Amino acid sequence: MAGDGMARSPAPWIVYSSAVPEQDFPPPRRLARRYRPGGDDEEPPPWASMPPVRPPGRPGGHRRPEGPEGFYGDLSGPGPAQWQQPGDEADGPVPPLRPRESGGRAQRAAARRRRRWYYLGGGVVVVAGAVLAVVLLTGGRPGPAAVTPGALITTFQPGELRQVPNACHVVPAAVQQYLPGTPKVASPLPVDGSAASACNWTIDKPPLYRLMQVSLNAYAPDGLASGNGSATRAATDAYDLALRDLQVPPKGSPAARATVEVLSGFGNQAFSALQVFHVGGAVTDVATVVVRYRNVVVTVTLNGLAHSNKGNYGPVSTTQLAAAAMAFARAAEGSLH
């Protein structure tokens, strides 16, 4: 060609065969060379007038790494942008990408923090409202703690008593007729505050000697008690222990086995017992009544001296002793209702 100064020879690797007509083969390809305007006689190739391919919004045509969907990321825009394809300019100018506002990530993080504070503040208001509603509906009065099945109870339950009346005032004058004569009344010093009270009535006029003892004990919840450790369970343990000691007296006790009778329709549990004590030649008959009402145990004991080695005492009617002890016990248990 004229621009080259000499005609180029076919490529050395192309071999022509004489057996096949030459026109059936495509003409030999020429090596590609850069197009120079005005330097060639032939017309420029069709791609010579096309604009360079560059990513939009990036002057200078710096190429960005291609994403998984064939898009090129643009850090200055709100999202990925496609490469401009040939012929796009014919449809109209490409609108510039809107740049991302500075500080957008910090603003969104601040907005999320504000929403978290709003949610937290709303939860605190709801909880405070619930607590206030409970206080207003219950009148602020403390009640017994909720009991979980199988858990240890450490508070008094509904119906249990925290204090007992004065034992000297629970027996009316009509009951004291079971004690002939004029008894002397004495109240021992309290050892457990208002949770316990005791009183004694004594008659000592030969041949009559009587000693009536009444005690009331309200038991509190005790972790050493059986079952759930409630106050009622503690009182039940005390009642069972008193019954066992009367049925099988401890070793060395001067009392023989008691004659025990379980009573029904009297408190939650009740029994009566008769014993005989022999001490130093003296013989004393004792009638006992024990009653449990919820967490309170009432114990009544009436002693009658049947025989004494000194003085003239006796005899004693055990039937009268048992009747007097029962009358005192019923009066004391009735004062708890």
- DSSP states of 279-334: ETTEEEEEEEEEEEETTEEEEEEEEEEEE-SSS------HHHHHHHHHHHHHHHHH
The distance from CA 26 to its chain's CA centroid, rounded to whole angstroms, is 91
**Listed range (137-141, 200-204, 210-214, 277-281) with the worst mean pLDDT:** 137-141
Mean pLDDT comparison of 119-123, 151-155, 156-160, 312-316, highest-scoring range? 156-160
- The pLDDT of residue 125: 64
Of residues 111 and 54, more confidence is placed in 111
- The 10s digit of each residue's pLDDT in 163-172 is 999 999 988 8
Is the per-residue pLDDT at 91 higher than 70? no
Q: Please check whether residue 153 is in contact with residue 230, taking contact to mean a CB–CB distance below 8 angstroms.
A: yes
CA-based nearest residue to 198, from 325, 327, 323, 332 = 332
- The pLDDT of residue 114: 74
Q: Strands 269-279 and 282-293, how do they pair?
A: antiparallel
Q: Hey, what are 147's tokens? A: 């009991």
Cβ-Cβ contacts under 8 Å for 75 (sequence gap 6 or more): none
Q: Is 239 left (phi over 0), alpha (psi -120 to 50) or beta?
A: alpha
What's the one-letter identity of residue 165? P
Q: Please check whether residue 304 is in contact with residue 180, taking contact to mean a CB–CB distance below 8 angstroms.
A: no
> How many Å apart are CA 316 and CA 208, to the nearest integer?
8
> How many Å apart are CA 247 and CA 303, to the nearest integer?
18
Q: Please check whether residue 314 is in contact with residue 281, taking contact to mean a CB–CB distance below 8 angstroms.
A: no
Q: Hey, what are 120's tokens? A: 């937290």
Is the per-residue pLDDT at 142 higher than 60? no
> How many Å apart are CA 237 and CA 227, to the nearest integer?
10
Model confidence pTM above 0.85: no
Q: Hey, what are 27's tokens? A: 């003409």
Domains present along the chain, CATH in parentheses: 167-334 (3.40.1000)
- The pLDDT of residue 176: 73
- SS3 for 11? coil
